[in-house]
Amino acid sequence: MWLGSCASSATAAAALHKPVAHLRPLLRVSASCSSSPASPTVAARGPSPSPRPGVAATAMPSSNSAPTTPADETTAAAAAAASGFRLTEPSFLESLMPKKETGVDRFLAAHPEYDGRGALIAIFDSGVDPAAAGLQTTSDGKPKILDVIDCTGSGDVDTSKVVKADADGAIVGASGTRLIVNSSWKNPSEEWRVGYKLVYELFTDTLISRLKKERKKKWDEENQEAISGALNQLNEFEKKHSKPDDAKLKKAKEDLQDRLDCLRKQADGYDDRGPVIDVVVWHDGDVWRVAVDTQGLEGNKDCGKLADFVPLTNYRIERKFGIFSKLDACSFVANVYDDGNLVSIVTDCSPHATHVAGIAAAFHPEEPLLNGVAPGAQLISCRIGDTRLGSMETGTGLVRALIAAVEHKCDLINMSYGEPTLLPDYGRFIDLVNEVVDKHRIIFISSAGNNGPALNTVGAPGGTSSSIIGVGAYVSPSMAAGAHCVVQAPSEGMEYTWSSRGPTADGDLGVSISAPGGAVAPVPTWTLQSRMLMNGTSMSSPSACGGVALLVSAMKAEAIPLSPYTVRKAIENTAASISDVPEEKLTTGHGLLQVDRAFEYARQAKKLPLVSYKISINQVGKLTPNLRGIYLRGSNACQQTSEWTVQLNPKFHEDASNLEQLVPFEECLQLHSTDNSIVNIPEYILLTNNGRSFNIVVNPDNISSGLHYYEVYGMDCRAPWRGPIFRVPITVIKPIALSGEPPVLSLSKLYFKSGHIERRFINVPIGASWVEVTMRTSALDTPRRFFLDTVQMCPLKRPIKWEAVVTFSSPSIKNFSFSVEGGLTMELSIAQFWSSGNASHEPTCVDFEIVFHGISVDQKVIALDGSESPMLIVARSLLASERLVPVANMNKIRIPYRPVESNFCPLPTSRDRLPSGKQIIALTLTYKFKLEDGAEIKPHLPLLNNRIYDNKFESQFYRISDSNKSVYSSGDVYPSYVKLPKGEYTLQLYIRHENVQFLEKLKQLVLFIERKLEKKDFIQLSFYSEPDGPIVGNATFKSSILVPGEPEAFYVGPPSTEKLPKGSPPGSVLVGSITYGIVSSFNKKEQNQHAPASYSILCVIPPSKIDDNTEKGVSVGTKKSVSERLNDEVRDTKIKFLSSLKQENEDDKSAWTELVASLKSEYPKYTPLFAKILECVLQESTADDKISHHKEVIVAADEVVDSIDKEELAKLLSLKPDPEDEESQKTKKKMEETRDQLADALYQKGLALAEIESLKPDESTEASAKDVFEENYKELIKWVDAKTTKYGTLTVLRERRCGRCGTALKVLNDMIQENSEQPKKKLYDLRIQLIEEIGWAHVSAYEKQWMHVRFPPSLPPF
């Protein structure tokens, strides 16, 4: 997910990703300033409780600082007012693209030629628009963007189909459109490769929404014109025939009314899936060329013609781009791969990347104050956001981006994407990043995340990876007053409230440095504006990256050896401190980037070894895990002295010389502790290439409760100017213990000003499972916004996080409840938003109470084994008396599948060849599943889901398609639910890695299809106080009062067999949740509101019961003798054998004909035989002589009809059989089967007659022959409703024959709507034919666009 935020002055922009419990991409879009800053929209990847809106921020007081008193607040406010921060026009423009804060202005004033020239930055993001303002040239006139690449594959078009032009110079495109080729295009081979793309698959949701509105407006005008025409025709008919008595006139009027109704319904059901663009590729003798036909976009046949398109080639060759149309104003790039068999159409999937690129390197010669940080730097755009996923990153995109960065010999990478991680500094992507940094010397800079203000919220990869420089977001008074347009700017700069904080789970600092986290920068042309305001760590990262690009430019110009190790040390050791409080390092990192100071440091370090210092820490007595810092979080850890072994290893680049660099390396280091009373260390160590270990003793016994931060660092005795050359971060959190029944934490009279944060660390009592919170505000004169966060850390799990954004318009009370994990330390973070209340002199007074509740059970996950036996549950309350009210509901079912096919394929293109030279291999697994009814489903892969950065497999991607090859859903590590109609489906799973042995182990990977049950099918489980309760039916358990410490036992019964979902195969798993308690301290209106602590409950579907009738044998009521039954079996076997014969050649057909003749003579009136013969005839190939084939069908159908005594059949069907008479029931069923055979024969005969008539339209036929169709139809409607889905096609054809296309279309539309299964192409083809016969060109064009969605010729590339 991206990590920026963009807000409009009126409304927050829609988030790029669906809500997930990860980092929030807070992206604000603002065309102009507003009187009050809006908050960013929150979004993220993966499952999420409640997404949080909010953006912008401030540095806050540390959690262990004393609360501010009202007097202090008033004094501070008065001082800020007195300071009277004012802007001039130049300073206002400067605030829109902040550079003073990081010393960029000073640096460029001293070194104007070091403005990024010679530096190449790879932008890993959502795709940069090469047409955006400021991104055409550098300050010294070079091309700004050297390459634009879609690394995800979402814009790929299969162009493997080869066609040749006809005599008129026209080709047939992949969409079926006839395209005129420009005669001036050079194509020696005369081979044209064609493909097509639904253009909306290339656009962002925002752009699609705009286009849909504009296109619908035009379509509505055309449809309204057609409605007016239809209404006029109906009115004229009624005037001419005021009282039509004739049946034909009534039908004619009905037809006109049906036309009018169809048009109106068409408008109601309008859903624009976008036009199709045809893509044509050819080789001109030098390079591959691409042209695009975009006529469908503007609806003007004179615009967007293929022949008028200026051909493109790979962007890096000519650096040219195209624009789809004036309507969308969206630029695109084309890149050709695999010898012309694949074209990548590259667009952006959000404005995010263009904004990021503009901050880093935009050049505006007319407005130099709006230049990016490094206007002389060049860029490559590597799109890692996948349009199919809304803009989420994929493993494929990340790896291809790294390959491109190495191939282009980039100096820097900026990546403003990320999310929480299970394991820090771990995973396939991290391994490749380490190689890129260590071997190829690329400096990697990334956003730390927008998930603050709580600690432990830094995201991967920026905040959790040792090789990546993670950047926090800073806001200065100038930025607040200018870019954010706040009424009164803060007196000092600060970190934004939402900027993520460290430490990481393994103790690393998390945030490396801070940089300005907001700017007004370029955005894509399709937004119809040139710049907008966004803020987030997505913006601080390119601000820092641009600053580092200045360093790179200067170091190259002055021949200073360039290394990520040197650069990182320079920027960290020269950063300006934002706060004097040690604990704030977890917020700001080492401080605010200062480019000028960093350059002086790099100059002075010119002759030093290019080396970094890797730290690996283990607690004495433990071999694992290997940590990067010391992190004591919890009361037990703070009650005793602990000793830690630090292994310090110098790390050189891979090409370092053994004799010249490794052997001579030796440094005498003096060790320092920021607090010797807590952290004890040796004084000196001698470090050589083979590393050195030393011990640290931490004694937190006497520290106060709260957050404490210390460091151990090493100084070079011979060059103390270098500053710390390594640091060991030490974070100690000492929680407070609660007492009482139930335990309560009360915080009274907390005073908040803008950006102030209060942190409390609580030892959550063992036995607690949920909390109930009351927040009361007073003493406020303007609305105030608060961020509330709680975080608990659990080994090998993502942080357990609850968050809420609360706005108080006036003094009031708000209540919350959420689940907690007993026995784990919980951070409670209360923050007043950085820009909230900044114009007020009154601090906000807050009273906060948090009450802990809990019901503990002996097993958190309840797994019922599918038997009739209930499961025993033992519940306890360890904190206070609680009301035990168990409730369990099963609302989903997971059905396991194994692949029916697995294929390995080495990927053919250079974009999938790793820098090491290894080619990536793809494993495609194919799964088949069937839905008996429409349902909402989601694929589930326990091994791979929910991990992108902390996963040793490179990537995963799936798609679900139907039998028509129409793709219903795509996804990656975070599968989402999709609603599917009844039918059969194929799921293809695509997994990539360069190690085929790893992929071999996944060939039989189990996948679950998780299906939501309809609400009416939810299964509520029952509880009992006795083990035999489910069978006997008594001893129901409803509720009880738990006394502290006293156990209460009860049973949960399995679901009854009758309630199990139909068609659930044995081995499937019912999934649901179980809760035990109720909220007690508030919500008086809902006395039985369930506690938020819920747990999983599973039930295995048992084997199906054996049918009682399977062993009964022959029905008791049968009257047939053994001989008769034998004859019947022989007859049925012969008929079955007949259907198995294939008629592939003349000999086969002759043998089949002989067998048919023999069976007819043997069973002359046996209707099932003739029905089977008809079925076989229908299955014959019709390519040679269609008319003869249809005549055969008519003959076979007539034989079925003649074999049936229709009078006897009608008589038997009219009788009501005795429901208790088995024989009469069997007779009734047999008669219904015969009726169906009769109706099917009449139906097939009617279709054949209509086909013959259409194939011989000019051949005159006698009136009696014309009546055959009508007579056949009238016979059919005697037996069945001919307008149903099964027989409706014949009714459509009949109405069409009679010239009543309106009625035919109405019947056909009803058939399509009533059909709950997957679409049938022949019905939609027929619909288009009827619409064209009526003359509705706009409806026909709309339906033809949908045909590409419903019935694509092939599946798209992965």
Active site amino acids? 125, 352, 538
d(CA 619, CA 638): 14
d(CA 249, CA 666): 105
Nearest C-alpha neighbor of 11 from the set 32, 28, 24, 35: 28
What sign for the dihedral angle of Cα 275, 280, 281, 284?
negative
Half-sphere exposure of 692 (CA within 13 A, CB side): 16
d(CA 651, CA 662): 10
Cβ(947)–Cβ(1002) below 8 Å: no
d(CA 1308, CA 1312): 6
Please report, to the nearest 10 degrees, the dihedral formed by the alpha carbons of residues 1349, 1355, 1356, 1358 taken in order.
140
Q: Which parts of 7-127 fold into alpha helices (H)?
A: 70-83, 89-96, 104-110
- Spell out the long-range contacts of 1232-1239 with Cβ–Cβ below 8 A and sequence spacing 24 or more: 1234/1167, 1234/1204, 1234/1209, 1235/1209, 1235/1279, 1235/1280, 1237/1167, 1237/1168, 1237/1171, 1237/1200, 1237/1204, 1238/1167, 1238/1200, 1238/1201, 1238/1204, 1238/1206, 1238/1209, 1238/1279, 1239/1276, 1239/1279, 1239/1280, 1239/1287
Q: What 8-state DSSP symbol labels residue 1114?
A: S
454 conformational bin, left if phi > 0, alpha if psi -120 to 50, beta if neither: beta
Q: What 8-state DSSP symbol labels residue 339?
A: G
End-to-end CA distance of the chain: 20
d(CA 543, CA 537): 10
Cβ(886)–Cβ(1120) below 8 Å: no
Place of tokens 């995340």: 449
Pairing of β 862-864 and β 978-980:
unpaired
**DSSP for 745-783?**
EEEEEEEE-TT-EEEEEEEPPTT--EEEEEEEEES-SS-
Q: What 8-state DSSP symbol labels residue 350?
A: S
What sign for the dihedral angle of Cα 717, 718, 721, 724?
negative
The side-by-side arrangement of strands in the sheet containing 342-346 is 156-158, 342-346, 331-337, 322-323
**DSSP for 1145-1165?**
SHHHHHHHHHHHHHHHHHSTT
Cβ(1050)–Cβ(1023) below 8 Å: yes
Half-sphere exposure of 296 (CA within 13 A, CB side): 25
497 conformational bin, left if phi > 0, alpha if psi -120 to 50, beta if neither: alpha
Which two three-digit tokens encode residue 976? 């989402």
Cβ(381)–Cβ(132) below 8 Å: no
Beta bridge mates, 381 = 123, 148
Cα angle, residue 583 at apex, residues 460 and 540 outer, rounded to 5°: 45
Cβ(783)–Cβ(808) below 8 Å: yes
CA distances from 98 to 24, 543, 547, 760 (A): 23, 8, 11, 34
Nearest C-alpha neighbor of 312 from the set 127, 148, 142: 148
1125 conformational bin, left if phi > 0, alpha if psi -120 to 50, beta if neither: alpha
Nearest C-alpha neighbor of 572 from the set 614, 514, 627: 514
